[in-house]
Amino acid sequence: MFCPKCGTNLNDNAKFCAVCGFSIAQRKTLAAEHARQREQTPPNVPYPGDSNNNSQSYMPPHYAKVPPSSGEKNLKAIIIALVSFIAVLVIAFTCWLIFAKDEKTPEQAQYDKLNELIGSISEEVEGGLNEKEAQSEDKEKPEEKIEPEQKKEPEAHRVNVVDSVNNLIASNGFGNSVAVAVVDNLTNESYMCNGASASYTAWGFYLPVYLAMEDRYPYDYESYKSGIMSSNAGTCNNSANYAIDCFGGPAGITGYIQSNFGCSVTSYGRKFGVVNSPADNYTCASEAALMMNRLNRRGEAYMLCYSPSTFGVYAPSGTTMYAQLGTENVSVRNNLNVFAIIKGADVDYCVAVLTRDGVAGTGFVNTLLENINIQMKG
């Protein structure tokens, strides 16, 4: 017997085709039913199952569904298991991303820090470029008349500084023998009092040498720089003289100071501690006060560390004084020079007091400093 569907040779007793699953038993049953119906059909009426019947109403017989084979069942189970496994992997990976997203390896943390650094540098560069562009735009604009650096006008009481100092000097008859200059560190306002631009002997004025060394050799000769500003006069002299030699002598350091610091009076004609020299060292009160302001802006007011009380000079009430002092004669203490930065609760200023002709001693200098402080406080 052959399978009516696929043509496979089957046993006569087979109920299903082993290849395509066709139901042989059902086929036999349907064939018997067709034979019975054919016998009951009149001879002149075509039977739907006849091969010569051309009727359009013929419907093929419906057969029962073929049950799936064991191989098909196993394949379906494998597919379901594989899909389930993949789903579990996807869920696990998603959970790992959620709970481990904030955990960074050292390499990742270092990479993030590098990105932040690059970002900050980019912002700074961009800001610098924007500033340069703004500056170039400002250059193209017509010039406007404005105050230098748009500084605020000094308070009304500050106008009295110059008048008060000059009146005090004049009332003591020292008009040609005392020079004073004051620079307010809070506003950068300058108060050039009596004789501020006049040339005076620069006794005890080591600061220009220190500033020249810091400017020319910012990372070298540190011990000599500290020695220049020492509280010991011998150490100051030795360190300052070594610095002068670094510039080729007094003329060399004078040229450097005048070229780089905008000075015209400050000059060195001899080394420190040398007596009976035909040349001397000079400065003026205005240049001295401005150089101290330069030191203060560097945050180094403390470098003026000579004790004023050694010369009988004292800080004004309620203030701290950072100073260098010098005199022609330590015993007599005449021709006294005071280079000081004075700081208090509401004051911060530089003051240079230069004297000559032996007319002004420590008593007058202390009175002058107290008067200046009162005016600066208002």
8 A C-beta contact, residue 354 and residue 285 = yes
Rounded to whole angstroms, how far apart are CA atoms 173 and 365?
14
pLDDT of residue 57: 44
Question: What does 70-119 look like in DSSP terms, one character per residue?
Answer: HHHHHHHHHHHHHHHHHHHHHHHHHHHHHHHTT---HHHHHHHHHHHHHH
Q: 176-199, pLDDT tens digit by residue?
A: 999 999 999 999 999 999 999 999
pLDDT of residue 175: 87
Q: What is the DSSP letter of 191?
A: E
Rounded to whole angstroms, how far apart are CA atoms 210 and 206?
7
Q: Which parts of 101-190 fold into alpha helices (H)?
A: 106-140, 160-171
pTM beyond 0.85: no
Rounded to whole angstroms, how far apart are CA atoms 321 and 304?
9
Q: Look at residue 246 and tell me whether its pLDDT is greater than 50.
A: yes
Return all residues near 357 (Cβ < 8 A) that are at least 6 apart.
176, 177, 335
pLDDT of residue 199: 95
Strand-pairing partners, residue 51, are: none
Token pair 């180094």 is at which residue?
300
Q: Look at residue 241 and tell me whether its pLDDT is greater than 90.
A: yes
Cα 201 to the center of its chain, rounded Å: 45
Per-residue tokens: 8: 């496979």
Q: 335-349, pLDDT tens digit by residue?
A: 789 999 999 999 999
8 A C-beta contact, residue 208 and residue 227 = no
Per-residue tokens: 191: 């108060």
Cα 324 to the center of its chain, rounded Å: 36
Rounded to whole angstroms, how far apart are CA atoms 62 and 30?
10
pLDDT of residue 112: 67
Strand-pairing partners, residue 337, are: 326
Q: What is the DSSP letter of 135?
A: H
8 A C-beta contact, residue 8 and residue 17 = yes
3-state secondary structure of 131: helix
